[in-house]
């Protein structure tokens, strides 16, 4: 017979503190005549769970069962007839099972054919504790104190072989169980509210990404962000700067989760509120954004950012790379230009400045802006997707529309790294299509 699928040790009770080693009662041996019949009794009539069922050696089999909470195990053993262990079958086991309501179990198990020795009755226990009093005339003479009186209901029942067990409930046990239930209900309710709030945050952040794309005559473009969590710190945007100019923005906030999402919203608000001064002054725009970001973010937080202003009439691209990954410009002749950093990250230095780079775009050129969720995706061999694979993917898809190329490249990254996504994946692709 094979082992049960359930673990032998209940890991839910293991403590993390190794200075106080984990300890639990593993099992109590119960001697029975027929393992299969006894297994049916404990499993079907008492509702126990099968933990272990295997042949240790030819002719010798162990079966272990546990009550539903799995805190202790009963190992059922069928000894050889005539052995000393065989004589113990049908004796009191000294095993006591605790429940919060003996009467409910009594009725339930009685209907299943369990043999009780008497109906449940009330039992009161009073404990006398002897303690020494250091300040008494005779310190060696113990005094007597009485612990609180416990009231409980108990009964006894037998299994198929006559082995007897006690079934008890104490007021303290019931109160502890109820306290556990309340704590669990509160935790589940708290988790449910947190999940709802996180889902709302996800929907709010989704609305922060571009909801429309200002049309351009010479450029067709698309952007996409797939977050690793419900919310994240990657950011991309398309800003209508007027006068047939469009701002491309991609950024990566330090950190992850809710904190990064809040900073991402702050950065987006700063950019959109200040973008009016981007007209012919992108350097002034970014200096203002950095100042606001420094004032509104905690120490240690920062953002990398790539900002590009495209003039649809002149086909000119002016950009500032603030500590972000180099943008890739694939020329129509398949040469590659990397638009590298022109400034440090945002949010660290109040005294901050940047340089503005410039490129002329021609028909057939392709621009790609991305975050490290693309290039730092890992496969099973711990290899990164990397910049070179991204370049090769862009070259393969340069003839299709930007939106289709975007989808195909992201799917390629996900196939390369099929396990759980570690970081947000964000990508913008723009193609010059001529006048």
Better-predicted residue by pLDDT, 6 or 67: 67
pLDDT band at 8 (very low <50, low <70, confident <90, very high): very low
Q: What is residue 380's predicted lDDT score, i.e. its pLDDT? A: 87
Q: Are 155 and 121 in contact (CB under 8 A)?
A: yes
Q: Where are the domains of the chain?
A: 1-89, 91-175, 202-432
CA distance 422 to 419: 9
Separation in Å, CA 134 to CA 64, 85, 137, 367 = 49, 49, 8, 86
Q: Which of 35-49, 133-147, 410-424 has the highest mean pLDDT?
A: 35-49
**Which residue has 């392709």 as its token pair?**
366
Q: What is residue 90's predicted lDDT score, i.e. its pLDDT? A: 92
- pLDDT tens sequence across 276-310: 665 667 888 899 888 888 887 777 789 999 999 99
Structure-token pair, residue 65? 């069962």
- pLDDT tens sequence across 385-403: 999 999 999 999 999 999 9
Q: Which residue, 247, 255, 368, is CA-closest to 318?
A: 247
- pLDDT tens sequence across 55-85: 776 778 889 999 988 778 999 999 989 999 9
- Would you call 105 exposed, middle or buried from its count of C-beta atoms within 10 A (0-12, 13-18, 19+)? buried
Q: Please check whether the two domains, 1-89 and 202-432, share a CATH topology.
A: no
Cα angle, residue 248 at apex, residues 246 and 250 outer, rounded to 5°:
165
pTM above 0.85, yes or no: no
CB atoms < 10 A from the CB of 274, how many? 17
**CB within 8 Å of 191: residues ≥ 6 apart:** none
Quote the percentage of the chain above a pLDDT of 70. 83
Q: Answer whether CATH 1.20.1050.10 is correct for domain 1-89.
A: no
Q: What is residue 143's predicted lDDT score, i.e. its pLDDT? A: 53
Q: Which residue, 387, 402, 428, is CA-closest to 249?
A: 428
The string of DSSP codes covering 220-248 is EEEEEEE-SSSS-SEEEEEEEEETTEEEE
Check whether 27 has a pLDDT greater than 90.
no
- pLDDT tens sequence across 193-236: 877 777 776 676 667 778 888 889 999 999 998 887 766 778 89
What mean pLDDT, rounded, does the chain reach? 83
- What's the CATH fold of domain 202-432? Phosphatase 2c; domain 1 (3.60.40)
Q: Are 340 and 306 in contact (CB under 8 A)?
A: no
CA distance 71 to 76: 17
Q: What is the mean pLDDT of residues 346-372?
A: 93
Q: What is residue 28's predicted lDDT score, i.e. its pLDDT? A: 92
Q: What is residue 429's predicted lDDT score, i.e. its pLDDT? A: 96
Structure-token pair, residue 88? 């113990």
């Amino acid at each position: 017979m094979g082992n049960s699928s359930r673990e032998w040790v209940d890991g839910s009770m293991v403590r993390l503190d190794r200075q106080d080693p984990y300890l639990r009662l593993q099992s109590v041996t119960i001697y029975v005549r027929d393992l299969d019949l006894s297994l049916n009794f404990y499993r079907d009539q008492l509702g126990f769970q099968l933990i272990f069922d295997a042949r240790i050696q030819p002719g010798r089999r162990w079966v272990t069962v546990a009550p539903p909470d799995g805190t202790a195990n009963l190992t059922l053993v069928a000894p050889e007839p005539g052995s000393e262990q065989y004589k113990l079958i049908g004796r009191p086991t000294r095993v006591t099972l605790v429940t919060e309501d003996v009467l409910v179990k009594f009725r339930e198990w009685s209907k299943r054919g369990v043999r009780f020795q008497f109906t449940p009755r009330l039992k009161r226990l009073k404990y006398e504790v002897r303690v020494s009093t250091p300040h008494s005339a005779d310190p060696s003479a113990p005094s007597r104190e009485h612990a609180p009186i416990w009231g409980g209901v108990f009964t006894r029942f037998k299994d198929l072989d006559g082995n007897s067990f006690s079934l008890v409930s104490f007021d303290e046990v019931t109160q502890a169980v109820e306290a556990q239930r309340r704590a669990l209900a509160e935790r589940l309710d708290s988790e449910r509210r947190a999940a709802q709030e996180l889902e709302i945050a996800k929907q709010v952040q989704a609305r922060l990404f571009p909801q429309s794309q200002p049309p351009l005559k010479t450029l067709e473009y698309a952007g996409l962000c797939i977050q690793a969590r419900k919310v994240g710190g990657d950011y991309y945007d398309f800003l209508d700067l007027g006068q047939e100019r469009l701002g491309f923005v991609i950024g990566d906030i330090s950190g992850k989760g809710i904190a990064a999402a809040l900073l991402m919203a702050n950065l987006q608000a700063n950019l959109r509120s200040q973008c009016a001064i981007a007209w012919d002054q992108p350097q002034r725009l970014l200096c203002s954004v950095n100042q606001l970001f420094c004032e509104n973010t905690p120490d240690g937080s920062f953002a990398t950012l790539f900002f590009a202003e495209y003039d649809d009439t002149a086909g000119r691209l002016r950009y500032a790379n603030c500590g972000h990954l180099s943008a890739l410009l694939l020329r129509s002749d398949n040469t590659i230009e990397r638009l590298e950093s022109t400034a440090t990250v945002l949010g660290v230095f109040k005294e901050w400045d940047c340089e503005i780079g410039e490129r002329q775009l021609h028909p057939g050129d392709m621009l790609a802006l991305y975050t490290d969720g693309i290039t730092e995706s890992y496969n099973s061999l711990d290899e990164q997707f990397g910049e070179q694979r991204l370049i090769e993917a862009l070259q393969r898809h340069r003839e299709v529309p930007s939106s289709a190329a975007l989808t195909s490249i992201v799917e390629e990254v996900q196939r390369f790294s099929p396990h759980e996504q570690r970081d947000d994946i964000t990508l913008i692709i723009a193609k010059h299509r001529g006048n």
